[in-house]
Amino acid sequence: MKRTRTAALTVAAAAAALAPLLGQPATAAQGTYLQDPAGADKAMKSLWTKDEMHKVEAQLRFHPGIRYKTVPRPAHPAAPDHERRTGDPKTLAWEPEFDFGWAVSDSMLVKKAVTTKDGRHPIVLHASVRSASRGTAVEVHRELADQPATGRERVPGGKRIACDTGEYTVEWSLTRTGYGTLRGSMPWNSSCENHRTAFSAEHGRH
């Protein structure tokens, strides 16, 4: 009984990450993302201006955003409606989003010391998903005016990327106009195998 229950809970956990609204496309595994620089939530790349009186920090979280539609599945007649549907692996596709974080610091009197995070700032965001063989799959650019010294901005990619189309590079930059630009990149694999496995396990559950 314990082994059976453990297996059931494992399948349920995988399926929960893929659970969509009935009959609607949905984003699965909302909590998964790639972060540059890697590390804790507050990990940031940083850059001082030449006079060492102003600093820009930045971070990117890349959310692959898997999307799919649902189809009916075998289920007990007494099961709730939402348990009679499962994800359709034929409709899987990626729909990326880019989550930028930043912090702007200004030294008051001493270089690289006694900094404050005040005022409003112009921030420019740029990111793309590129493949050596397929070129640029997704690219975003956003210019923000009058932003707080610390903030986040999530930018939808606006395009889908087909599953299993190989390795990509996520490139990004964040500019505090007049202070400097931080850049980064990280690899991303477009395989959808993990999601297909979860769909398969969920489809067989009664």
- Dist. CA 87–CA 82, nearest whole Å: 11
For position 187, what pLDDT does the model report? 97
For position 86, what pLDDT does the model report? 73
For position 72, what pLDDT does the model report? 76
Apex 31 CA angle, 195 and 103, nearest 5: 140
For position 79, what pLDDT does the model report? 64
Give the pairing of strands 120-131 and 167-176: antiparallel
User: pLDDT (tens digit, 9 = 90+) per residue, 6-55?
Assistant: 333 333 333 444 433 323 444 344 558 999 999 999 999 999 999 999 99
Question: What average pLDDT does the structure give for the chain?
Answer: 83
Which H or E run includes 186? strand 180-189
For position 19, what pLDDT does the model report? 39
CA-to-CA dists, residue 68 to 23, 34, 91, 108, 196, angstroms: 10, 21, 5, 52, 11
User: pLDDT (tens digit, 9 = 90+) per residue, 64-114?
Assistant: 999 988 877 666 566 666 556 777 788 899 999 999 999 999 998 899 988
User: What average pLDDT does the segment 134-142 reach?
Assistant: 97
> Does 161 or 84 have the greater pLDDT score?
161
For the ranges 49-58, 122-131, 188-197, the lowest mean pLDDT is seen at 188-197
pLDDT value at 195 more than 50: yes
Total-model pTM: 0.79
Phi, psi dihedral angles at 75 (to 5 degrees): -155, 160
For position 24, what pLDDT does the model report? 42
